[in-house]
A and B are shown apart, each in its own frame.
Chain A
Amino acid sequence: MSGPVAGGVEAAPTPASGDAPAPEPALQVEALGFAYADAPVLEAVSLSVPRGRFAALVGANGAGKTTLFSIVTGLFAAGDGRVRIAGHDLATRPRDALTELGVVFQKPTLDNDLSVRQNLAYFADLHGLPRRTARERIDAALAQHGVADVQARKAGALSGGQRRRVELARSLLHRPSLLLMDEPTVGLDIASRAGFVEHVRELVSGRQVGVLWATHLADEIRDEDLVHVLDRGRLLASGTLGELLEAHAVRDVVALTAALR
């Protein structure tokens, strides 16, 4: 993103002659539309998330964030438009696209009857990882996300913060290019929330993963973060938070959304 773009998506930069082509964005959404029955939920939404960037999808409850995520994860079929994950079209190459996708859903999705390790092994199997590779990656993920000591515990016995960390570890096991996080800090206490956000930010820079983080909490976004403002199913603006605040002479995301309406 070179600058704030109201209601649209920036054009992909054209590589100079002789340069290596720019990698495909982790996520490219073009003119996406969706309706429940006759009620439009998303209208011509276009946005992108480059690799290695932390992008926030902000909007109040009812803005369409979860519906957008449901489409990008392949759960809902888009009415109009196109979704590409790491360059793979979700409609024509769903398998390649979903291989590049990791998700932390809004509601906890760990299986409470299984242990942490069994939950991760199940997910590794879903992605077809060979058993040995899966074992190595699970060991590494448990250590990296600070949940190695609870690996034998049933998921139902974990704290909210631990659950989220395990879900994050799970979503990255297959090494995706894009990580979708749908209001992942809901239900966490302040200390756990801050720690979790920081942990994800470290992953972004360390792994070159593009993160799309849906939230309506202003304090989870920094000035340098890419921000997509969604309101009642329409994308109002895209750009870094600092640029958008400056351009609209407001102090926070809430005021920004109000100013953009």
Chain B
Amino acid sequence: MTGSHTVTRHGQSRQGVAWRAGARCLRGIVLRETLRFVHQRGRFLSALVRPLVWLFIFAAGFRSVLGVSIIPPYQTYVLYEEYITPGLVGMILLFNGMQSSLSMVYDREMGSMRVLLSSPMPRWFLLVSRLVAGVAVALLQVGVFLAIAWFWDVRPPVAGYLLVLPALVLAGLMLGALGLALSSFIRQLENFAGVMNFVIFPMFFASSALYPLWRLRESSELLYRICRVNPFTHGVELVRHALYGAVHMPSVLIVAAYTALFLAAAIVGYDPQKGSLARRGGPGGPGGPADRPATKGAS
């Protein structure tokens, strides 16, 4: 993507050609992920069922137990279903971000990541494109979820549906980048399940997705502080405010900063050698040098 300003024989600058090629590459990656998602109907349904179960059952059950006072961005008392909806949108982004990264570990093992990474675009561009593609898939899921929620009487203002789009993109990128950064530490697909349990559930429950943080603070100051540094909390608040037509600048800035941090870690840490290292018993892996007397060759 680093083109000079020289001119090709067709009168186009090399930089212009590079950007057009980059745009086509991005389009291809997004289209591929979208097609895969649409073709995998089971994945589509399960991605929807999870938040809908929370909305239809959990929220209904806890409506009378968990009272929510008037807190920004709400102008009045809201039903628990309404409070929890941005949190469930965040849940979709969180699961999708992690699943997208899981798919990269899977691709790394199955080899299709090799096709991607041996194409001419720089690695950082290819990885960011994969993240963007993951966000595009998440947007589809969120759109369907919000449409169903509308029939469940969760009806944010129309402007909120537009304003929430950039918020979803930013929060989705942050969570996807986090997943990708985590996948850098994973050698093989099987190890990802543990990370899911150690990352997804703690992040989700230690956030403002299900309950306002002031409620949590009444129980534990420490837990409250943990929730405050949880990136997912800020992603949820960003989405919550945007969905009700407000821009919550602290959340915007914090989510942007976390996105940059996770992206940098993901790009620096992503190493296609990892799958190979694990299979041949690299350092730290089963059958590594410690318990492998002489592995001279590799093929």
A residues near B (Cβ < 8 Å) are 36-41, 59-67, 70, 73-76, 94-96, 98-99, 101, 103, 105, 107-111, 113-114, 118, 121-131, 232-233
Contact = CB atoms under 8 A, between A and B. Distances in A.
Contact of A122 (B22, B32, B111): B32
A36 B299 contact: no
A123 B117 CA distance: 11
B25 A40 contact: no
Interface in B242-299: 272-273, 276-277, 280, 282-283, 288-289, 295-299
Contacts of B114: 73, 75, 103, 105, 109
B129 to A, nearest CB: 9
A126 B289 contact: no
B36 A113 contact: yes
Interface string B9-30: 0000000000011101101110
Given A75-B273, A109-B112, A113-B36, A125 B27 contact: yes
Nearest to A111: B112
A109 B297 contact: no
Contacts of A65: 299
Contacts of A37: 282-283, 288-289
Contacts of A73: 114, 117-118
Contacts of A110: 112
Interface string B131-144: 00000000000000
Contact of B24 (A61, A111, A114, A125): A125
Closest 3 CB pairs of A and B: A125-B28, A128-B21, A62-B297
Given A41-B298, A62-B298, A75-B273, A98 B120 contact: yes
Interface string B116-152: 1111111000000000000000000000000000000
Given A64-B298, A103-B118, A113 B28 contact: no
B295 A39 contact: yes
Given A125-B31, A126-B25, A126-B115, A64 B297 contact: yes
B24 A129 contact: yes
Contacts of B36: 111, 113-114
A67 B297 CA distance: 9
